[in-house]
Chains A and B, each alone.
Chain A
Amino acid sequence: MSSGFTIEEPRSVDEALTLLAQGDETVRAIAGGTGLSLLMKYGFFEPATLVSLRHLRSSLADIEVTPDGGVRLGAMATLRDLEDAPIVAERLPLLRQALGRLATVRLRNAAQLGGAIAHGHPQMDTPPVLLALDAQVQVASIRGARTIAAQDMFLGYYETAVEDDELILEVRIPPQGEHRATYRKITARAEDDWPMLGIAALVATDGGRISRARVALGALTDRPMRLPDVESALQGSDPGSDEVEAIARDAAAALDLYDKPAASAAYQRHIVAVHLRRALLEILDLGDGSSKGGR
C-alpha cells in the first residue's frame, strides 16, 4: 500500500513527456485508470507520481480517416468513443465487434485506447485485434518519436515495448480494403469477464482466393500471438470446411499452453480448435460456425 503519490496534470504533450523523462519507473502516465488503479489497489504498483493526461484529450482523441484510406485513432479516444464512431463501424468492424463485449459500458466510457495497449495485461480484448489489423503505434518521448508495430508491442505479463519515458500518442491502422473479419471472445465463468481466449481473424479475398489473412489469439499465454502458419495456409487458398477444420486443429495442437485456475491446458487447446474453426468458417462464409459442417 502506497503512502501517497502526487498527481501532475500537464497542459501539453511536451510537458507530459518532460514529466515522464525523470528516469523514475514509479512515475507513470494515467488516462482512464481502469488498469492502473487495479494494480495500485493490489499493491503491485506504487507510484511516486502519476501524470494525468486529462488535459491532453482534446488533442489526442481524434478518430479520422488518413489520406491513404487508413484510420488514425487518437490514444485518448475512449473505448466507447471508438465503439460509437461511424468511421470505426464502417472501416474497422472487427474493432467495433470486439469493443462491444469488452468489460462494461461504464468501463468503456473511462478506458482509453493508449492505456489498453500500455497496460500489457495478457487477458485483454484489444491486443489480438490490433495484431490482426497490422496496427502501428506511434509513441513519443523527449528523445523523439517512433513507431512500434502492434506485433512487436506486447512482450509479456504487463510488459510492452513502450519505454518508461514514452507516451502512446496514436494508433494507425493501414487501409484494410474489402475484408471480412470476426472477433470471438470466450470467457471461462461469467459472461462479463476478461477473455479466456480472444480470436481475431481477418481475410481479404481476391478472385475467390484469400489474398490476405490475419489470425491472432489473445489471453492464452503472457502475450497475444499471431498464427503465421494459419495465415500462410490460408493465403492464396480457397479452403473448404474440412481444410479449415484441419488448419484450426493443427494450429491448436502446436500451441504451448499451460493449466490455469480458470481452464486446463487441454480445454484451452480444444476451445482454440473449435472457435478458430468457427471463426474461419464464419468469415469464409462456410456456415455460421456453430455446428460442424455448417447448417
Chain B
Amino acid sequence: MPKEQVGRSVPRVESEAKVTGTVEYIHNFELPGMLHAKLARSIVPHARITGIDVSAALAVPGVRRVITAEDVATVTAVDYMGPAFLDQPVLAIDKVHFVGEPVACVIADTPRAAAEAAELVVIDYEELPAVFDEVEAAGPDAPVVHDRVEAAASFADLKGLGDVRDTNVALHYKLRRGDAEAALEDAAHVFEHTFRSTPNVHATMEPFVAVGEIGDRGDITVHAAMQNPSIMQVELARLFDIPENKIRMRTAFLGGGFGAKLYVKLEPLAAVCAMLMRRPVRIALTMEEQFVTLTRHGSTITLRTGVDADGRILARACDVTWNTGAYADIGPRVAQKSGFTAAGPYDIEHVSIDSKCVYTNMPPAGAYRGFGIPQLSWAYECQADLIARELGIDPLDFRDRNALRNGRPHATGTTMQGIATEVVLASLREQMGWDTELEDRGEGTIKRGRGVGFGLKAVITPSTSVATVTLSGDGSVQVACGTTDMGQASVSAYAQIVAEVLGLQTEDVVVHHPDTRFTTYDMGTLGSRSLWHNGNALIQASNEVRAELLASASDQLGVDVDELELSGGGVVAKDGTRRSLAEIMLGRFGMQAGNIIGRGEYTPTYDKPDPETGQSDNVAAFWMVGACGVEVSVDTESGKTTIDRLVVIGDSGRPINPDIVRAQFSGAAIMQIGMARTEELLHEQGQLTTTGLAYYKVPGILDVPRDLESVVVDLPLDGDAPFGAKGVGETGSFAVAPAVANAIHDAVGARVTTLPMTDERIWAAINDASADRSAG
C-alpha cells in the first residue's frame, strides 16, 4: 500500500459510480407525493405589472395552484434577497426588470401540466424604458432599473456597500496607488484601448433544480443542485425568519456548477411552494431557462497605460464597467475582488482603478469560473501585446520585464508571496519554444501564429470553513463539511488529506455531500477557495482525531504518545507493536462502539482595504497565476481559424492530486475556448435570441486543440497552504481569449477586438488591416 496519500494521483473515488450511472444527482431525486412547479416569466425587459390573470392556467387539468408575489408574502418575512443587495424577490413584486424574470409559479401534479399552464398565465404590463448596455446604464440619463435597493451586509468582504437609489451603479470600487494621472503625463509612451467582452452562460449539463419539503416541526428541507448550502441556509432563515436549525439544505454531486449554482436561485421558491402546498414540490429548469437565470458579466474596460523608454509599465488607469443585469447577485464582489486586479499581473508603481458594477435590464450576471479575470485579462493581455508590438519588444519579454514577483507590492499594497510568476513564464517560454521562430508559418492562404497571455487572481478573502472528521467503532472514518463536489474532485482530494493525517488509504475515507442537518458551515464552493479553507479545517479536525486516538492508544499500550504513529490503518509503536484503529476503539469503549470526533475551522487573516484607495497590507489568503499559449492557423481567405495547440500553465503549490490538477487546468482552458471563439448570447431589446444549446455553441470535442498540454508548476507553498497546496479550479481560465487574439495577430497582422472571435470577425479584421495597409 502506498504510504503517501497527498501528492498521489488517486483515481477519483466516484468515477465508477458516475460512469455506471449510479451517482445521485438532485435532478433525479423524487419524493412521495411530490408536486411539480413551472415558472411564468416576463416577456418584457422593464415594466410595471398591472395585472396577472391565472384563470386559464388554473383550468388546466392537474394544476393545483398558481402563485404570485402576493402568495409568497403570506409565508415570508421579507420581500427581497441577495448576497450583496436585497434586490431579488422570490417572484416579481410590482415590476419586472428583465425578459425571463419569474412572475408566477404554477404548481401541478405533473411537470407537463405545470408547463402547459405556465404558458396560459396572462400578465399585463405597463412598459418602462429599458437599458441593456452597461456603459449607457452607468450614464446620467439612463432609465433606472431599481428605484431603490438596500445593501445586504451578509458578507464580511462586502460590508462597505451602501443603499442604492436613483442610479444603476450598484458599486463603484476605487483603488488608488501612487499618482497614475501624473505618471501618465510624464510617461514616454501612453496607450489607451477599450475592450469589450460579452456575457456567457455556464451551460451546466444538469440544469438548476430544487425540491422543497416541510418537516413535522415546521422545518424546511430543500434538496438542490447548489454550490453554497450554508449561504442558502442563512438566506432562507432570513427569508422566513426562522432559525437556521430549522432549515436543512442538502445537495449531491452536481452536474456542473462553474459559479452558476451560487446564491439565490430556485431554493427559496421551492421552499415557498412546499410551505404553501404542504407537500414536496420540485422545480427544475430547462436548459433554455438556464440562459435567463445567470450569465457571466459582459464588461467594458478602458486601459490607459504609461510605459517608459525601456518598456517598463509606469502607470495604468483602469476604468471597468460590469454589466450585472437586473439582480446584482454577486456582481459587486466581482467588481471589487476581481476589480482590484484590473491592472493585471504586473508590477506597476502608479495604479488607479475604477470598477463599477452596473444594473441593466439584462438577465442577472454573477460568478462564472474565473470570476471576472477572463474579462479583465481580455483587456490587459490584449493591450500587453499591442504595447509590445508598438515598442518593438517581444511580447513574452515585455511580460517578463513587467511581471509582479514575490516580495513586491501589488496595486492593493499587499506584498506578494507564494506566486510562481517567474517559473510560470519560464515554463510558457519553454513549452512554446518561444526563443526559436515558429517553425511552421503556414503556406498558401494558411498563416500560422502564436500568442500568449497570463493572469493573476486573488482568492476571495475573508471566508470561513468548518469541518468535522468522525471515527467510528470499526475504525472507519467519515468527513462532514460544506463543500459541494461539482466535478472538481473535492471528495477525492479531501479523502486524501484526511487519509494522509490519519495514516489511512484514501479510498477508505468517506466524504459526505453537504447536508446542513449534519455537515458544517462553509462559505461556498467558489473562487478556488475550498481546498485551501476546508483543507485547513480538515487537517485540524484530523489532527484532533489523531491526538485522541494516540492518547487512547498510549493508555492501552502503556507507551508514551511520542512513541506512537498512525500508519497503515492503525497505530504503530516504535517497538513495532501495532493495533488497528478498531482495536483502539474497542479498548476505549469496551465494544465496537463510540466515536472520536475532530473539529476544525479556518478563517484566514485579512486586513480590510481602505474604502477610498483600496490599500491593504493583507488583502488575500493566496494568489493564483495562470498562463496560456496558443498556436493558430488562419485561412486568410475565409477567416477559418483553428487553435492547433494550446498550452495551459498554472501554479498549484504542491498538488494534492496531480492528475486532477492537470485536468482542472485543461478543462478550464477548453471552457474558455467558448468565450474566445464560439459562444455568443445575442439579444434584441433584452430578449435572448440564441437560447439553448442548438443556437449557443459550447465548444465540442472537435473544437479542442489537437495538441493540448497542461503544465502544473508545483512549487510547494508554506504558511497556511494545506500540505503546500493552493486552489486550482480557475487558474486555467485566466488568459485563453487574449492568447488566441494575440496569436491571430501574430499570424495575420490583424487584431480582433470583438468576442467571440468567429471566423467571420477574423475575416473582417484581416480585411480591415489590409485596407489600412493600402490606405497607409
Residues of A bordering B, CB below 8 Å: 1-4, 38, 186, 188-193, 261, 263-264, 267, 270-271, 274-275, 290-292, 295
Contact = CB atoms under 8 A, between A and B. Distances in A.
A189 B758 contact: yes
Given A4-B112, A192-B702, A291 B760 contact: no
Main secondary structure of the interface of B (DSSP, over half): loop
B750 to A, nearest CB: 15
Contacts of A191: 700, 702-703
Contacts of A290: 444-446, 635
B697 interface: yes
A261 B700 contact: no
Given A189-B678, A190-B698, A267-B763, A3 B758 contact: no
Contacts of A292: 444-445, 637
B39 to A, nearest CB: 13
A145 B763 CA distance: 49
Nearest to B60: A3
Given A190-B702, A275-B638, A290-B446, 8 more contacts: A1-B115, A1-B119, A189-B678, A193-B697, A267-B760, A291-B443, A291-B444, A295-B444
A292 B444 CA distance: 7
B690 A274 contact: no
B116 interface: yes
Contact of A190 (B61, B690, B703, B760): B703
B680 interface: yes
Contacts of B689: 261
B445 A188 contact: no
21 contacts: A1-B112, A3-B60, A3-B61, A3-B112, A189-B756, A190-B698, A191-B703, A192-B701, A192-B702, A261-B682, A264-B760, A267-B639, A267-B760, A270-B638, A271-B638, A274-B638, A290-B444, A290-B446, A290-B635, A291-B443, A291-B446
A264 B61 CA distance: 46
Contacts of A186: 638, 640
Given A190-B678, A295-B443, A261 B690 contact: yes
A274 B699 contact: no
A186 to B, nearest CB: 8
B348 interface: no
Nearest to A190: B697
B677 interface: yes
Interface string B442-478: 0111100000000000000000000000000000000
**7 tightest Cβ-Cβ pairs between the two chains A and B:** A291-B444, A191-B702, A190-B697, A189-B697, A192-B700, A189-B678, A1-B115
Contacts of B444: 290-292, 295
B113 interface: yes
B245 to A, nearest CB: 40
A95 B637 CA distance: 27
B554 to A, nearest CB: 60
A103 to B, nearest CB: 11
Nearest to B62: A3
A189 B764 CA distance: 15
B759 interface: yes
Contact of B637 (A188, A190, A261, A274): A274
Of B445, B680, B682, most buried by chain A (CB within 10 Å of CB) is: B445
A242 to B, nearest CB: 16
A165 B735 CA distance: 56
Interface of B: 60-61, 112-113, 115-116, 119, 443-446, 635, 637-640, 677-680, 682, 689-690, 694-695, 697-703, 756, 758-760, 763-764
Nearest to B692: A42
A219 to B, nearest CB: 14
Contacts of A3: 60-61, 112-113, 116
Nearest to A291: B444
A4 B678 CA distance: 36
A264 B767 CA distance: 15
A192 B677 CA distance: 13
A195 to B, nearest CB: 13
B476 to A, nearest CB: 41
Nearest to A277: B637
A26 to B, nearest CB: 16
Contacts of A38: 694
Nearest to A294: B444
A186 B763 CA distance: 14
A190 B700 contact: yes
Contact of A263 (B446, B690, B694, B760): B760
A121 to B, nearest CB: 11
Nearest to A287: B444
Nearest to A293: B444
B448 to A, nearest CB: 13
A190 B699 contact: yes
Nearest to A191: B702
Contacts of B694: 38
Contacts of A270: 638, 763
B677 A189 contact: yes
Contacts of B61: 3
A123 to B, nearest CB: 10
A264 B677 CA distance: 17
A1 B637 contact: no
Contacts of B763: 267, 270
Nearest to B637: A274
A148 to B, nearest CB: 28
Nearest to A292: B445
B702 A291 contact: no
A264 B60 CA distance: 44
Of A2, A191, A270, most buried by chain B (CB within 10 Å of CB) is: A191
A36 B678 CA distance: 26
A38 B446 CA distance: 38
A38 B699 CA distance: 20
Of B119, B679, B760, B763, most buried by chain A (CB within 10 Å of CB) is: B760
Contacts of B116: 1-3
A3 B679 CA distance: 33
Nearest to B682: A261
B105 to A, nearest CB: 16
A295 B444 CA distance: 7
A191 B445 CA distance: 20
Given A38-B694, A292-B637, A188 B758 contact: yes
A1 B118 CA distance: 10
A49 B446 CA distance: 53
Contacts of A263: 760
Contacts of A193: 697
A292 to B, nearest CB: 7
Contacts of A271: 638
A188 B760 CA distance: 8
Contacts of B119: 1
A290 B677 CA distance: 22
Contacts of B638: 186, 270-271, 274-275
A90 B756 CA distance: 41
Given A261-B690, A290-B444, A188 B759 contact: yes
A104 to B, nearest CB: 8
A1 B756 CA distance: 33
A295 B119 CA distance: 59
A38 B698 CA distance: 18
A5 B5 CA distance: 56
A270 B694 CA distance: 25
A258 to B, nearest CB: 15
Contacts of B113: 3
A274 B639 CA distance: 11
B147 to A, nearest CB: 34
B58 to A, nearest CB: 15
A189 B639 CA distance: 12
Contacts of A274: 637-638
A290 B642 CA distance: 14
A189 B444 CA distance: 24
Of B61, B638, B698, most buried by chain A (CB within 10 Å of CB) is: B638
Contacts of B700: 190-192
B765 to A, nearest CB: 12
